[in-house]
Amino acid sequence: MSLALHLTRRRAAVAVAAVALIAPLAACGSEGGDRQDTGASGSGSDAPRAALTVLAASSLTDVFTKAGAAYEKAHPGTEITFSFAGSQELAAQVRQGAPADVLVTADTRTMDGLGDETDSPVIIARNRLVIATGEGNPEKIAELRDLADPDVEVVLAAPEVPVGRYSRQILDAGKVVVRPVSEEPNVRAVLSKVELGEADAGLVYKTDAATGKVDTVEIPDAQNAIARYPAATLQSSRHADAADAFVKWLAAPEAQKLFRDAGFQQP
């Protein structure tokens, strides 16, 4: 064998070995989160594509259903699955390691308690409370103090739920003593009790009352509480760039219009 032919074959073998070493490393680099993706701005087809799971507060059910459809339409290749529950339930799921990409709660306190589990949160909307009554307001409830009437059956969210905490905050501030007939796990359950006639009144978010078959009594700003909704990418997300893009989009004009149309206030 000539020396030239021997060297040529040796170089070819080295090249094949190098490719064999690089290929596994490249594969490893593509697993897990997709921080290496470009286009994390969330605008148009440049946004990272992924199947995202979003844990969201119950009061966002209707607006997020529309927002998810709008986002998928604007970002082909991205699919969003929502899981709605009370914020405290969502926090428990995160702590237990539930596979998800984005968390949106109905208060900053719950989100702040998960500081090691999330990226920096962004406030995407605000909300306020109203008194929900049966259609026609048969008990003629006109203000918070009327909820103290022992003949009025009131339902509240449980105190560990953001809306339940807000409810007690405004009742305590007004020195209104209410003994609820039940304490529910989320705002939608409170609304359902009033709709079904199982309670005369309940404290719910304004946006939820607008979606139910109930009448509402406004609570003056000076007596009310403002709920703020933070959204954040979860540190455990396997699609971090795509999750970041969705969170950023929630604060952008298109999503903000959906929030306003649903009755939410701007951040």
Q: What is the 3-state secondary structure (H, E, C) of the chain?
A: CCHHHHHHHHHHHHHHHHHHHHHHHHHHHCCCCCCCCCCCCCCHHHCCCCEEEEEEEHHHHHHHHHHHHHHHHHCCCCEEEEEEECHHHHHHHHHCCCCCCEEECCCHHHHHCCCCCECCCEEEEEEEEEEEECCCCCCCCCCHHHHHCCCCCEEEECCCCHHHHHHHHHHHHCCCCCCCCEEECCHHHHHHHHHCCCCCEEEEEHHHHCCCCCEEEECCHHHCCEEEEEEEEECCCCCHHHHHHHHHHHCCHHHHHHHHHCCCECC
Split at pLDDT 50, 70, 90, the class of 34 is very low
Asked if domains 46-126+228-261 and 127-226 share a fold, the reply is: yes
pTM of the predicted protein model = 0.81
Domain positions in the chain: 46-126+228-261, 127-226
- Predicted confidence at residue 18, as pLDDT, reads 37
Domain covering 127-226 in this structure, CATH number: 3.40.190.10
**Separation of alpha carbons 189 and 84, rounded Å:** 12
CA-to-CA dists, residue 258 to 57, 110, 187, 205, 233, angstroms: 16, 24, 20, 17, 21
- Angle 29-34-35 (CA atoms, 0-180°, nearest 5)? 95
Q: How many beta carbons lie within 10 A of that of residue 46, not counting itself? A: 13
- Predicted confidence at residue 45, as pLDDT, reads 54
**Separation of alpha carbons 103 and 105, rounded Å:** 7
Which amino acid, residue 232? A
- Predicted confidence at residue 212, as pLDDT, reads 82
Counting beta carbons within 10 angstroms of the beta carbon of residue 256, is it exposed (0 to 12), middle (13 to 18) or buried (19 or more)? middle
Domain 46-126+228-261 sits in which CATH superfamily? Periplasmic binding protein-like II (3.40.190.10)
What is the share, in percent, of the chain residues with pLDDT greater than 70?
Answer: 82
Helices 240-250 and 253-261 pack at an angle, to 10 degrees, of 60
State pLDDT tens for residues 197-248. Answer: 999 999 999 999 998 899 999 999 999 999 999 999 999 999 999 999 999 9
Indicate whether 28 pLDDT > 90.
Answer: no
**Separation of alpha carbons 42 and 104, rounded Å:** 17
Which amino acid, residue 125? A
Q: Could you tell me if 132 and 59 are in contact, meaning their C-beta atoms sit under 8 angstroms apart?
A: no
